[in-house]
């Protein structure tokens, strides 16, 4: 695999990157700072563990001096030093283990809070946010990216603290033992610093790209897993596998490129440290031969030099890991900082005592300002009326529903409910005034009872059964071993699409709403059942305004008014009989469907 060298980074880009990293560290500290007691305990345990481990080389040097002393071996000193070394190392190990436990608890709390913040903001984001993103990419940020940040907090932050203590104490000890040998590190340390800084700039965009490509791969996998029946029905397994191989290759290459360049740091710094150790041994031997240093002190100096350079090597490795953590943190905070759905106006009032009189007055709307979707749209739905919206694909039918629910706001014009502009109403009260059934059914993991009663918290079993009977799903539920207590999993994977749709229709019927929206809600049930459901709905939804989007025109013959949309405009409006009596576009659509069924 060839690795492309990244384009040179300008000084302005470096400055911006430093600012970004500073902001990320500040925000991460805000999460950690909520657990100050654990942080203080971690610092204390880390300090004790490091200091006890660092006292070992000093005792080792004393023991060696006691053995090599010309006046004879001082066994008491040797045994005392050996005993103290054992105590120090055992205590250091105990403190180190305790430290790991504390850091695991700290990182767990931080990860839990970050996931809570991400998910909480996701529930406040507008529908447009999810329309433009793959679900798998968002899931990747909540799971993989937060885990990456969590791992960095648990290990890297701790390692940096311990390394700092080790470097400072080791330097002080080396200065007290043989200050003449310390200048050797004045050459090797700057070389190490400059090298790691250069490499960090190089790998930073690689780790950012790694997280991005992994998110894209997750999104593709989730999409393909959700469409397994369709894929197999069309015999496209090989094509899907080929597409997966391409995306997998891209993700693996991005991962390998980042890791391969990032792991250069460790071996390179190890080589520089080994050079410094060799120089210490050479010059230290000369000093020993000249009698300027004792053998035990030289041994202690060598051990401290290893402890001094070792953390620098570890920090160099941590720098590469931090690039990955920073890239992951950027994606996580991008979700936390995503602009939520605009708040209701201060003057917004709740919609109460809904009659269901809906007026759409001269509305224009577009998702992209360059491509208008709805233009000069007018509609009046009287209370209790059934309004059917038909037209070819892309005519803007579903967009009307998005505007009624205020998932999107109109560009111009006005929508009113009971004479009140919906921009002056609270979104929650407006949306609760509607019961909605979509073509894409959604069921959650839980009992059938819970799924039907989802929109009504205090629903009784009697009410749920009544709604299920009206939706023609009660007999199926009754045949299940657990009845209404049957657990549904994975969006109701064990039942047919038609049955899932009937469950969502029962959910809408149970909801005490004054208006109903059906967006291709019966597309997965047979014609006879659909007619029965509509008859039941008409009885159940008396005095309630209903909006029905339908492609199967035979099912809307009893609508009070049929809107025929074409190119974002209402081109025809009337009852089924009226439109069929005319040489209308609706008549062409109806006959086309009738002929297609022949």
Which tens digit of pLDDT belongs to each residue from 430-455?
888 888 887 777 788 888 898 888 87
* Residue-level pLDDT at 91: 92
Tally of CB atoms within 10 A around 250: 15
Which residues does residue 151 pair with via DSSP β-bridges, in sequence order? none
Shared domain for 179 and 277, answered yes or no, is yes
Mean pLDDT of the chain: 79
Q: Domain total for the chain?
A: 3
pLDDT greater than 80 at residue 230: no
* Residue-level pLDDT at 359: 92
Shared domain for 200 and 256, answered yes or no, is yes
Q: d(Cα 28, Cα 248) in Å, to the nearest integer?
A: 31
Shared domain for 422 and 308, answered yes or no, is no
More confident residue, 339 or 187: 339
Mean pLDDT (whole number) for 177-185: 80
Shared domain for 189 and 313, answered yes or no, is yes
Lowest mean pLDDT among 49-53, 188-192, 233-237, 465-469: 233-237
Tell the burial category of 565 from Cβ atoms under 10 Å away from its Cβ (0-12, 13-18, 19+): buried
* Residue-level pLDDT at 422: 92
Please write the tens of the pLDDT for every residue from 281-297: 787 888 777 777 777 77
Instruction: Answer yes or no: is 63 within a domain.
Output: no
Residue where one domain finishes, among candidates 484, 512, 540: 512
Residue where one domain finishes, among candidates 273, 307, 337: 337
The stretches of 417-480 forming alpha helices (DSSP H) are 427-432, 448-452, 461-470, 474-479
More confident residue, 189 or 246: 246
pLDDT greater than 70 at residue 561: yes
Instruction: Answer yes or no: is 221 within a domain.
Output: yes
* Residue-level pLDDT at 554: 66
Lowest mean pLDDT among 17-31, 75-89, 202-216: 17-31
- Under the banding of pLDDT at 50, 70 and 90, the label for residue 491 is low
* Residue-level pLDDT at 461: 92
Q: In the structure encoding, which two tokens stand for residue 376, read together?
A: 């000069």
Instruction: Answer yes or no: is 60 within a domain.
Output: no
Q: In the structure encoding, which two tokens stand for residue 334, read together?
A: 């991008």
Q: In the structure encoding, which two tokens stand for residue 361, read together?
A: 């007055």
Strand pairing report for 412-417 and 358-365: antiparallel
- Cβ atoms of 403 and 358 closer than 8 Å: no
* Residue-level pLDDT at 71: 61
DSSP state of 375: E
pLDDT greater than 80 at residue 515: yes
* φ, ψ of residue 566 in degrees (nearest 5): -155, 120
pLDDT greater than 70 at residue 206: yes
Mean pLDDT (whole number) for 227-235: 66
pLDDT greater than 60 at residue 65: yes
Please say whether the dihedral angle defined by the alpha carbons of residues 431, 434, 435 and 436, taken in this order, is positive or negative: negative
Three-state SS letters, 487-504: EECCCCCCCCHHHHHHHH
Place of tokens 């060839």: 2
CATH number, domain at 448? 3.40.50.300
* Residue-level pLDDT at 316: 62
Shared domain for 215 and 277, answered yes or no, is yes
Shared domain for 145 and 165, answered yes or no, is yes
Shared domain for 328 and 418, answered yes or no, is no
Strand pairing report for 412-417 and 561-566: unpaired
Instruction: Answer yes or no: is 99 within a domain.
Output: no
Instruction: Answer yes or no: is 364 within a domain.
Output: yes
Q: What is the pTM of this model?
A: 0.66
Shared domain for 563 and 454, answered yes or no, is no
The domain of 500 spans: 444-512
- Under the banding of pLDDT at 50, 70 and 90, the label for residue 150 is confident
- Under the banding of pLDDT at 50, 70 and 90, the label for residue 264 is confident
Q: In the structure encoding, which two tokens stand for residue 199, read together?
A: 């490499």
* Residue-level pLDDT at 530: 66
Mean pLDDT (whole number) for 38-54: 86
SS3 of residue 562 by DSSP: strand
In terms of average pLDDT, the best of 9-13, 91-95, 532-536 is 91-95
- Under the banding of pLDDT at 50, 70 and 90, the label for residue 510 is confident
Residue where one domain finishes, among candidates 454, 483, 512: 512
Tell which residue, 461, 491, 504, 495, has the closest CA to residue 476: 495
| CA 96 and chain centroid, separation | 33
Q: In the structure encoding, which two tokens stand for residue 524, read together?
A: 């997965």
Tell which residue, 304, 63, 318, has the closest CA to residue 169: 304
* Residue-level pLDDT at 226: 66
Which residues does residue 488 pair with via DSSP β-bridges, in sequence order? 446
CATH number, domain at 285? 1.20.1560.10
Instruction: Answer yes or no: is 497 within a domain.
Output: yes
Residues contacting 372, CB < 8 A, separation 6+:
364, 365, 366, 568
Angle between helices 36-68 and 157-177 (to 10 degrees): 30
Beginning with the edge strand found earlier in the chain, give each strand of the sheet holding 358-365 in spatial order: 374-381, 358-365, 412-417, 420-421
In terms of average pLDDT, the best of 203-212, 242-251, 259-268 is 242-251
Shared domain for 254 and 123, answered yes or no, is yes
Q: d(Cα 152, Cα 327) in Å, to the nearest integer?
A: 12
Shared domain for 230 and 378, answered yes or no, is no
Share of the chain above pLDDT 90, in %: 5
Mean pLDDT (whole number) for 350-379: 85
- Cβ atoms of 409 and 347 closer than 8 Å: no
In terms of average pLDDT, the best of 47-51, 276-280, 315-319, 530-534 is 47-51
- Cβ atoms of 521 and 348 closer than 8 Å: no
Shared domain for 269 and 366, answered yes or no, is no
Shared domain for 597 and 450, answered yes or no, is no
Instruction: Answer yes or no: is 542 within a domain.
Output: yes
Mean pLDDT (whole number) for 117-130: 85
Mean pLDDT (whole number) for 246-256: 87
Instruction: Answer yes or no: is 74 within a domain.
Output: no
């Amino acid at each position: 695999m060839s690795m492309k060298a990244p384009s040179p980074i300008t000084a302005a880009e470096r400055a911006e990157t430093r600012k970004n990293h500073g902001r990320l560290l500040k925000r991460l500290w805000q999460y950690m700072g909520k657990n100050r007691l654990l942080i203080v305990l971690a610092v204390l345990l880390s300090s004790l563990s490091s200091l006890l481990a660092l006292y070992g080389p000093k005792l080792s040097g004393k023991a060696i001096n006691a053995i090599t002393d010309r006046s004879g071996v001082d066994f008491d000193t040797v045994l005392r030093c050996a005993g103290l070394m054992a105590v120090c190392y055992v205590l250091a190990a105990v403190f180190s283990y305790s430290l790991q436990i504390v850091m695991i608890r700290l990182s767990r709390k931080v990860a839990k809070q970050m996931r809570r913040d991400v998910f909480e903001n996701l529930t406040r984001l507008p529908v447009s946010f999810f329309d433009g993103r793959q679900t798998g990419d968002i899931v990747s940020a909540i799971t993989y990216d937060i885990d990456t940040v969590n791992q960095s907090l648990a290990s890297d932050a701790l390692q940096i603290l311990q390394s700092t203590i080790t470097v400072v104490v080791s330097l002080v000890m080396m200065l007290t033992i043989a200050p003449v040998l310390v200048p050797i590190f004045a050459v090797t340390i700057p070389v190490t610093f400059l090298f790691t800084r250069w490499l960090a700039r190089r790998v930073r965009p690689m780790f950012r790209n790694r997280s991005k490509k992994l998110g894209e791969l997750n999104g593709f996998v989730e999409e393909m897993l959700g469409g397994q029946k369709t894929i197999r029905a069309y015999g496209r397994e090989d094509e899907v596998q080929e597409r997966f191989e391409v995306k997998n290759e891209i993700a693996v290459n991005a991962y390998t490129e980042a890791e391969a360049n990032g792991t250069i740091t460790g071996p390179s710094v190890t080589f520089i440290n080994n050079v410094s150790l060799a120089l210490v041994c050479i010059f230290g031997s000369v000093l020993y031969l000249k009698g300027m240093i004792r053998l035990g002190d030289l041994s202690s100096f060598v051990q401290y030099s290893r402890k001094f350079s070792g953390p620098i090597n570890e920090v160099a490795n941590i720098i590469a890991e931090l690039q990955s953590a920073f890239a992951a943190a950027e994606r996580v905070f991008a979700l936390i900082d995503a602009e939520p759905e605009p708040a209701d106006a201060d003057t917004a009032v709740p919609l109460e005592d809904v009659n269901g009189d809906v007026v759409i007055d001269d509305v224009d709307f577009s998702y992209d300002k360059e491509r208008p979707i709805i233009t000069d749209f007018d509609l009046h739905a009287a209370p209790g009326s059934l309004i059917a919206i038909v037209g070819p694909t892309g005519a803007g039918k579903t967009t009307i529903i998005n505007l009624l629910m205020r998932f999107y706001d109109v560009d111009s014009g006005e929508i009113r409910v009971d004479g009140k502009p919906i921009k002056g109403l609270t979104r929650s009260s407006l949306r609760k005034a509607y019961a909605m059934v979509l073509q894409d059914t959604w069921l959650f993991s839980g009992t059938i009872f819970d799924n039907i009663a989802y929109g009504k918290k205090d629903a009784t079993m009697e009410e749920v059964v009544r709604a299920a009977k009206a939706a023609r799903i009660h007999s199926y539920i009754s045949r299940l071993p657990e009845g209404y207590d049957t657990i549904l999993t994975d969006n109701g994977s064990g039942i047919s699409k038609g049955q899932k749709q009937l469950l969502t229709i029962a959910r809408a019927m149970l909801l005490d709403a004054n208006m109903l929206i059906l967006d291709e809600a019966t597309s997965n049930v047979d014609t006879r059942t659909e007619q029965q459901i509509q008859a039941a709905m008409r009885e159940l939804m008396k005095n309630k305004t209903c909006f029905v989007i339908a492609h199967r025109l035979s099912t809307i013959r009893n609508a009070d008014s049929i809107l025929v949309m074409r190119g974002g405009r209402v081109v025809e409006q009337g009852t089924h009989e009226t439109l069929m009596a005319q040489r209308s576009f609706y008549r062409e659509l109806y006959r086309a469907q009738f002929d297609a069924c022949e």
